[in-house]
Copies of this chain bind each other. A is one copy, B any other.
Amino acid sequence: MNPDALRGHMDALLLSVLEREPLHGYAIIEALQERSGGALNVPTGTVYPALRRLERIGYLASEWATVGGRKRRTYRLTDSGRKQLEGERSAWAEFASVIGGVLRPGVRQPG
């Protein structure tokens, strides 16, 4: 998977995996891998800054927890984040439709 291709879609992915339940960063990375059938291997250097950014914007909120002697910062969607996720979903649908349309082989222009 070309890394640049993810640009601008990372927020949507992160918000989406947090839709059902709060997760901590490490678990988010694993969830992305599982849900993508192994195609998405997002490095920690991408995820952690992105999560902080999304929290700063207000789409996520986080709490610290200690589980089995290990500290975790668990992120959950805010109401604002839930709305944003809806927007990201429709934006993705439009994006995929537009790009897919231009890329479709043998396209004829109207006229």
Contact = CB atoms under 8 A, between A and B. Distances in A.
Interface stretch (A51-59, A62-70, A73-81, A101-109): A101-109
Assembly of this chain: how many copies?
2
B36 A102 contact: yes
A6 B19 CA distance: 25
A41 to B, nearest CB: 11
B96 A40 contact: no
Contacts of A102: 13, 16-17, 32, 35-36, 40
Given A13-B103, A89-B103, A103-B12, A36 B5 contact: no
Interface in A23-42: 31-32, 34-37, 39-40
Contact of A98 (B4, B12, B36): B36
17 contacts: A2-B8, A5-B8, A7-B8, A9-B99, A12-B99, A13-B99, A16-B103, A35-B109, A36-B101, A39-B94, A39-B98, A40-B98, A88-B103, A89-B103, A92-B100, A92-B103, A96-B96
